[in-house]
Structure 1
Amino acid sequence: MTDESVPVPLTVKTSDLKVRTLSAVVMLLVAGGALWLGGIFLQAFIALVAIATLGEFVRLVWKASAKTLNRALSVLAGLLYISVAAVALASGGPSMVVILVGSVIAVDTFAYFSGRTFGGPKIAPRISPSKTWAGLIGGAFGASLFFVAMFQGVPAYQCWRYLQLPEDQTQFAFDGPCSYMPWAFNLTNVVQVLLVGLVVAVVAQCGDFFESWLKRKAGVKDSSNLIPGHGGVFDRTDGVLAVSFVVGIVMLTDRLI
């Protein structure tokens, strides 16, 4: 035995990168196709993702605890958690998916680069050693920029508006070319969008921490090996689930009130 590190062959690194890239392309094509088709196709895609996530959640619960009561209660809680998130995503059509998924992607992207650039104290090193406070702040800023871009409207894409439906039900919908008043840059709006960005970043990170904690309890690295090079579906949806769940609870509370 020696203390010298053994370098990883370049072919191993490259092969892993190729697999990850190919998997990412396939995921983007499938998700993008469902988003483009909308309607029942998008709802079916969301349902399939939710079912796959629930299956992986149950697998982790079974590995994390041997007690029947704990397993049963955890599965029921997971079913409620994932179902509410899926309904929230599906209820608003393509625009809701773009807003929720896009904001979480912005959080993850900015958090990654902020954490790598500034480093600093970890948020919860025992649960997720790579998450830093700098990353959280960067993620909040990224989500805020995403919302500003959505409010401003990007000419290459369609904009979103609220459709007022019967029985006072409201949902997002496509509204053709951008034509509404752009977002006004003033102190009130800046503070509001920063707060919303911070809330989204915190909730998304909580979803990530929850899955990381559950995987540690289960003693596994990934929720499954369903997606080559990326782990499981739950590994890809943890942040979106948390944000969508909160949105679903807000929507439900609004209807009840």
Structure 2
Amino acid sequence: MSNIAKNSDLPLRAVSGVIMAAIALLGIWIGGAVFTLAVSLIGVGIYWEFAALVRKGGNGNFPAIPAYLLGAIYIGLAVITLIFFRHKDDSGLETLFLLLVVVATDIGAYFAGRALGGPKLAPRISPNKTWAGLIGGMVAATIVWTGFNIASNGQALHIALVGGAMMAFVAQMGDLLQSAMKRRAGVKDSGTVLPGHGGLFDRTDGMVAVFFVVGLTHITLILQYFGIAGFLGL
């Protein structure tokens, strides 16, 4: 494919990317019920695309029902965790920087991968991803997360450094998981709802993975916040 062909949708991608970023910032700033409703609806859209990939990739042999259930837990916990962090954070800054860590991972991975190349990370799943890209994404995410924690007097420096790198690693694994699902389903994108960007799941695969893992590490606090812990004896 020529460079012209590969870049023909670049203006569309740029415009839609700016619009998506503006909507995300507005939602975080507003917070409350508006944020909860918007994130919930996006979560439903992501799960719809996830289920479509499972269905297309089944070929009659894939255990669809367990996959649907696991997907509901995976995406559902990520959505609940994002809502939890925004509701408990009056300013919305922590939520914003958690999202920025994933964005920084994608940007760092893209530029490091393009500039350095080198061995492929998982050539059978995603031929374009390299180990250099993974490291570049981890460095970029660590810088963002550490900067936020220094500015907000949050986590200790060594914890912030490790936390940023780990979140970037998780984001990349989420990306690879979705790439594997698309490859099995024989599709390029999970959907077409975002002009120039594919589907909702295409743009949020890393975020879903990060907020799922963060949710697991905060599960007791989340259950207590939403009044569920008492029913479970926690």
The answer to whether 1:37 aligns with 2:30 is yes
Cα separation, 2, equivalents of 1:236 and 1:145: 22
Cα separation, 1, equivalents of 2:138 and 2:45: 29
Cα separation, 2, equivalents of 1:13 and 1:68: 35
Aligned to 1:167: none
Letter in 1 for 2:20: M
Which residue of 40, 56, 70 maps to 1:77? 70
Per the TM alignment, residue 151 of structure 1 is displaced from its structure 2 partner at its CA by: 1.9
User: What percentage of residue pairs aligned between the two structures are identical?
Assistant: 41
Aligned to 1:102: 100
Partner SS, residue 123 of structure 1: strand
Cα separation, 1, equivalents of 2:154 and 2:185: 48
Letter in 1 for 2:13: R
Cα separation, 1, equivalents of 2:103 and 2:78: 16
Alignment map for 1:231-242 (pairs within 5 Å): 231-242=198-209
Partner SS, residue 120 of structure 2: coil
**8 Å Cα contact 1:141/1:194 also seen in 2:** no
Letter in 2 for 1:145: I
The answer to whether 1:151 aligns with 2:149 is yes
The answer to whether 1:214 aligns with 2:181 is yes
Alignment map for 1:130-145 (pairs within 5 Å): 130-145=128-143
Aligned length: 219
Question: TM-score normalized by structure 1?
Answer: 0.78
Partner SS, residue 42 of structure 1: helix
Per the TM alignment, residue 20 of structure 1 is displaced from its structure 2 partner at its CA by: 1.4
Per the TM alignment, residue 96 of structure 1 is displaced from its structure 2 partner at its CA by: 4.2
The structure with more helix, counted as a fraction of residues: 2
Per the TM alignment, residue 182 of structure 1 is displaced from its structure 2 partner at its CA by: 8.4
**8 Å Cα contact 1:53/1:234 also seen in 2:** yes
Letter in 1 for 2:53: L
Q: 1:117 to 1:68 in 2, by over 3 A?
A: closer
What are the superposed Cα offsets for residues 34-87 of structure 1, whole Å, 9 maximum, x if unpaired?
A: 112111111111111101100000111110004487111111110010000001
Unaligned runs of 5+ in 2: 87-91
Per the TM alignment, residue 100 of structure 1 is displaced from its structure 2 partner at its CA by: 1.9
Question: TM-score normalized by structure 2?
Answer: 0.85
Cα separation, 2, equivalents of 1:64 and 1:192: 39
Unaligned runs of 5+ in 1: 154-158, 160-180
Aligned to 2:114: 116
Q: 1:16 to 1:68 in 2, by over 3 A?
A: same
What are the superposed Cα offsets for residues 21-40 of structure 1, whole Å, 9 maximum, x if unpaired?
A: 22112212222221121111
Per the TM alignment, residue 90 of structure 1 is displaced from its structure 2 partner at its CA by: 0.5
What are the superposed Cα offsets for residues 194-249 of structure 1, whole Å, 9 maximum, x if unpaired?
A: 32222112111110000000000000000011111100000000000001000111
Larger of the two Rg values belongs to structure? 1
Aligned to 2:81: 88
**8 Å Cα contact 1:90/1:97 also seen in 2:** no
Partner SS, residue 131 of structure 1: strand
